[in-house]
Amino acid sequence: MTVSTAGRPAAFFDLDKTLIAVNSGKLWMNHEREEGRLPLSMVLRGMSYFLLYHFGLIDMNKAMSQALGTVKGISEERVDQITQEWFHSIVTPYEAPGARGTLNGHRKAGHPLVLLTSSSPYESRCAQKFFDMDARLHSHYEVQDGVFTGRFVAPLCYGEGKVHYATEYAREHGIDLGQSYFYTDSYTDLPVLELVGHPRIVAPDPRLRRLATRRGWPILDWSAETKEGEVLL
């Protein structure tokens, strides 16, 4: 029997400061510095990028190009292994307490759970498994002969790029974005928030909090556990 998916909603989730309560990029940078794989100059540059990101002023293409320059010529398999070890030992303790109840509520409602993040393919795969999600949409890095070239595959899964990946997923899986949900903390995700029918704001940055208040979007606190029945309101 063929089941129609017309009008079927999905639940999309950002990762940093949403499903997890911190910016994992900072955790990665600190970890790489402690392991001696990242010079202090890159750490300082990274901190400036995080500040620009917070205020929505970052040139993400430039920032990603410089970040990928640090792994140019390195084996993809090696970075994948390091990422898995880092994610499970350092990132998972920062799971947002309210995330599981919300995920479970959408799962019981039959909504596909989709990670929508600018993070790497390797971190996003870890997060998808950890949170038991159905799919992951993320940025892509160019690899040739098993090693990084130092370039990314456009578009990045950031800003309008997230609209590209969400729309592509919706088309391929029969998802109605007008009935779908998106959970995020960041003003940079405004293009997707305006795309879906049910924007959901989690521990937002100041700009997004002001906008969400004006537009009447729900602002959620995931610092404590959520009840499954509350998430679809």
User: Would you list the domain boundaries of the chain?
Assistant: 11-230
Measured distance CA(158)–CA(49) in Å, rounded: 14
| 101 has pLDDT over 70 | yes
Quick one: pLDDT at residue 30? 72
**Is residue 59 annotated as part of the catalytic site, yes or no?**
no
Is 16 an active-site residue?
A: yes
Q: Running DSSP on this structure, what letter comes out for residue 46?
A: H
pTM of the shown model? 0.87
Q: Which carries the bigger pLDDT value, residue 177 or residue 49? A: 177
Query: How far, in Å, CA of 199 to CA of 28, rounded?
Result: 29
What CATH code would you report for 11-230?
3.40.50.1000
Which of 16, 185, 189, 205 is catalytic? The answer is 16
CA–CA distance, 101 with 99 (Å, rounded to integer): 6
Closest to 189 in 3D by CA, of 173, 166, 221:
166
Q: What is the average pLDDT across 4-11?
A: 76
Dihedral (C-alpha) 133, 21, 232, 179: value to the nearest 10 degrees? -60
Closest by CA to 28, choosing from 70, 77, 59, 74, is: 70
